[in-house]
Structure 1
C-alpha cells in the first residue's frame, strides 16, 4: 500500500482549508511539509459564492473560477492552484479518505493510499441532508438538486439554462434556500418556496425581519408556501421531476427542484476517537481536540465562545476563515513554546440577494426592537433590529447598511452596552449604534475587534 508522509495535513478542501494554507504560508511553512487532502477536484474556493454569483444569469456578475478561489472573500490574494505549487504545498485532490486512525496518525483513502502526519487539521465541513435518505418517494428523480460543492452548483446552472422560464420549487426556508430562490428568480424562473416553519430563516430572523424578506420576495414574483412539507415527487417518463407532492395535498409542477433542508457536520471518520459536543468535534480556545496534534476548524468544530461563555458550533464562512487562522497560529505557537490569545469569536452572519444586503453580529436572544423602515416596498430597504438581554444590547441586525454603520453594529455586539427604553431604541435606531461607535462623538476602544484594510472584520 502506497504511503506518503507530511508534517502537516489538512483534511478537507473547503474555505477553512484555503485560509489555513494561507496562514501556514504566513508562518513560514517549508516546501513539502503541508498537504491538503480533498475529495473535490479544484483548489479551495469561497463556497458562499455558489448560492449567489455562481447561479446568477449572464451579465449579472456571474462568477466562475478562478475568480472566487480563497481568499477572494477577504479581499486578499486569490490562491490559485499555482500558488500552492509555488509554496510547496501538496494539493491531493479527488481523494476520499475512508479511514482515520488518530492513534497511529494515519489516513487511508478509498484507493488504499496511506497518509501519515505529525499534525492534523480536520476541515471536513458539512454534508447536506438529502430527501432520498429520508425515504421520500421519487426523491432520486432527475433535476432534484442540492448545493454543497461546485459540481452541484454547475449542475443547477446547466439545468437553469436548459429550463429557461420554467417552474422551480425550492424546498426549505433557511439560509441556502433563501439565496437559491433569489438566484433562480433572477434567471426568470417561476419560483415557489415550501417550508414548514411559520416564517423563513427562523433560527435567526424574528417574525418582523422575516415579514420584510417574504414581502420583498413576493414582490419579485416568488411564491411562498408555509406550514407544510414535501412528501414525495412524481417524474416524467424521461426521469425528470414533474411534480412536488406536499403534505397538505397539493402537487406543484416543477422543472427544477432545489433542496436546502440543512446539513450535518462531517465527523463520522472520528467517531469514538475524538470527543464531541453540541454536534461537533469538541475543541478548546486554540481549536485543539482532546487528542494531541489534532485540530478541528470550521463547521465540524465545537468551540468555547468566550464572549458568551458557552459552547457553540457555527456553520458560516466567517467562522471557517477565522478558526482556520487561529488553529495554524496555535500550532506554531505550540512548536515555538509561545502563546497566543484565545479564540474570541463574535458571531457574524451576512447575506446578499437581489439588491439587498444584511449583516448580523452577536447573539439573537432576549427581547427585540425593530427600527427603521421594514416595508418591503421601501425604496431604501433600510431597517434593523436590536436584541436586548438583561438590559444589554447583545445582537444587532441591519439591512442595507453603510460600511460605517456595519462597523458600528459590530462594535455594539462586542461591547454589549446598556440599552435604553424600547421606545427610545426604536426611535434612535442605527444612531444608537453610531453613537456607541464614536461616529456621533462617543468613542470606545475594544480589545480584540479585528479589522482589515476594508474597515470590517472581513469583507462580505
Structure 2
C-alpha cells in the first residue's frame, strides 16, 4: 500500500452557486463529491493551511501547529490571482471588486452580480478570465466595459484576425472595449464601495462592480530554496517528479517537459491539471509501467454560443482558413516548415479530434497557400492517413527517444486517391530522403 499526500490550496466546504464545478466536468467521469472521497478511502482535510514544508525530512507544518509526515507528496497548490496592489493600485478590498480564482471568489462574484443587476461592470483584463466573465455578466443583464493594455483580446493566443471576430461578436452583445490603457485608480465612496474606475488615459467609467483578471502567479513559496524552480513553477521531469524524488508537482504550479516541442513549459489550464495529476499518481503507484508524460498543449473556451479549441503552439506563421463572416473558421501555425499549432471555432467533435491529431503529427508544410486553401480538409485528411515514417534510425538523447527528422504525412485532398497521386507522393518522398 502507498500513502502519499496531495497538497492543495485551501478548499472551502460550501457548495458553489456558479454551476457546480467538479474536476470531472468535461471529462465524463464521476463527480468528486465529499462522499466520493470517503468511499475511495481518501481523507480530505479542509480549511487547513500549510505554514511550512521540509522536503528533506518529508514533513509539513500546519498553521495550527500540527506536523504531517508523508512518503510521497504531490504539490497541487495551483496559482494565485495577481492583485492590483502589485501594480501600485489600491482598492482590492472594496466590497464590489472581484477576482476569480477559488470558490469563495466565485460566490462573491455571484452575490455582487445579483446586487448589480442592470448596472455597470468594468472588467480589467482581456484574457481568459476577462472574456469569460464579461460574457456571463452580459447574460446577467449587466452593462460591461472591458479594459486591457494590449491591442486585442486574448493577446497571448489569438491573432489580430481571430481576436477581431470575437470582439465584434462581444460588441454585438453590448460589450464595450477600451484598449491600450490600464487602470489608474478608483473612486470609492464612504461605504468602501467603488463607484468609478479611472484609467491612465483619463477615461472615467461609472462602476457598480469590477472584475479583475490580470494574470496569476504559481504558489511556490513553500518550496523555494528546497526544490528546483523554472518558468515560474516547480521543475519536474516526465514523471512529474521534482528535484526531490519524493515530491511531485502537477497543474499550474508544474513546469514539465513537453515532448512534442522538446521544451519545458508551465501550462495554465484545467486539461493539463487533470492529466498531469493522473500521470503523477500513475508514476507513484506503477513506476515501472509509467512512461514520460506526453502531453499535447490544449486550451478551449465556451461563451455565448461560441466554442473554440486550440492545440499545440502558436509560434511561427499563422495561416487562417474558413469563413470569418460565419460560424466556422480557424488557423494553423507553421514554424520551421512544420505545422505546430491548430485553432478551430465552431467545430464538431470529429473536427476537433482531427486538428489535435494533425498537430501532434507535425506534418511538413511546403506550400502555405495550399494549406490555406485546404483549411480544415487538410487536418481531416492528415488525421485519417497513417504516418509514413522514413526508415531512418532514431537518435537517443538521454532517457527519451526523439525523432531527429520530421514525420512525413500524405496530405492530399480527401477523395483524390488515384495512381497519379500515389506516384507523385513517391517522387516527393524520394526527393526528401535524398536531402537527408
Bin of the TM-score, shorter chain as denominator length: 0.7 to 0.9
Give 1:444 shift: 4.5
For residue 359 of structure 1, what is the aligned residue in structure 2?
A: 309
Give 1:42 shift: 3.3
Give 1:341 shift: 1.6
Q: Which moved more, 1:350-359 or 1:68-77?
A: 68-77
Q: Deviations along 1:96-129, whole A, 9 cap, x unmatched?
A: 1111111111111111111111110000000000
Q: 2:7 aligns with which of 11, 17, 38?
A: 11
Task: Say if 1:199 and 1:226, in contact at 8 Å, map to a contact too.
Answer: yes
Give 1:236 shift: 2.1
SS at match of 2:101: coil
For residue 385 of structure 1, what is the aligned residue in structure 2?
A: 331
Alignment of structure 1 residues 16-415 onto 2, 5 Å: 38-42=9-13, 55=18, 63-64=19-20, 68-334=21-287, 338-375=288-325, 378=326, 381-415=327-361
Task: Say if 2:23 and 2:274, in contact at 8 Å, map to a contact too.
Answer: no
Give 1:347 shift: 0.3
Alignment of structure 1 residues 438-449 onto 2, 5 Å: 438=384, 442-444=385-387
Give 1:420 shift: 4.9
Task: Say if 2:228 and 2:234, in contact at 8 Å, map to a contact too.
Answer: yes
Q: Deviations along 1:69-106, whole A, 9 cap, x unmatched?
A: 23233101112111111122110000111111111111
Task: Say if 1:139 and 1:232, in contact at 8 Å, map to a contact too.
Answer: no
Task: Say if 1:437 and 1:444, in contact at 8 Å, map to a contact too.
Answer: no
Q: 2:364 aligns with which of 394, 415, 418?
A: 418
Task: Say if 1:243 and 1:253, in contact at 8 Å, map to a contact too.
Answer: yes
Task: Say if 1:132 and 1:140, in contact at 8 Å, map to a contact too.
Answer: no
SS at match of 2:70: strand
Kindly indicate whether structure 1 or structure 2 has the higher relative contact order, using CA contacts under 8 Å at least 6 residues apart: 1
**Cα distance in structure 2, aligned partners of 1:398 and 1:386:** 9
**Cα distance in structure 1, aligned partners of 2:42 and 2:153:** 42
Give 1:141 shift: 2.1
Q: Deviations along 1:141-181, whole A, 9 cap, x unmatched?
A: 22000000111111111111111110000000111111111
SS at match of 1:79: coil
Task: Say if 2:91 and 2:97, in contact at 8 Å, map to a contact too.
Answer: no
Across the aligned residues of Structure 1 and Structure 2, the Cα RMSD in angstroms comes to 1.7
User: Under a length normalisation based on structure 2, what TM-score does the superposition of the two structures give?
Assistant: 0.86
**Cα distance in structure 2, aligned partners of 1:435 and 1:104:** 55
Q: Deviations along 1:386-416, whole A, 9 cap, x unmatched?
A: 1011221111000010011001000011001
Which structure has the larger Rg?
2
1:436 partnered with 2:382:
yes
Give 1:443 shift: 4.2
Task: Say if 2:84 and 2:90, in contact at 8 Å, map to a contact too.
Answer: no
Q: Which moved more, 1:424-433 or 1:216-225?
A: 424-433
Q: Which runs of 5+ in 1 are unaligned?
A: 1-5, 13-37, 56-62, 447-460
Task: Say if 1:137 and 1:231, in contact at 8 Å, map to a contact too.
Answer: no
Q: In the comparison of the two structures, how many residue pairs are matched?
A: 388
- Cα 1:333–1:139 change in 2 (3 A) is closer
**Cα distance in structure 2, aligned partners of 1:205 and 1:425:** 19
For residue 405 of structure 2, what is the aligned residue in structure 1?
A: none
SS at match of 1:203: coil
**Cα distance in structure 2, aligned partners of 1:176 and 1:445:** 42
For residue 427 of structure 1, what is the aligned residue in structure 2?
A: 373
Give 1:445 shift: 9.6
**Cα distance in structure 2, aligned partners of 1:444 and 1:354:** 38
Q: Deviations along 1:207-259, whole A, 9 cap, x unmatched?
A: 11111111111111100000000011111222211011100011110001000
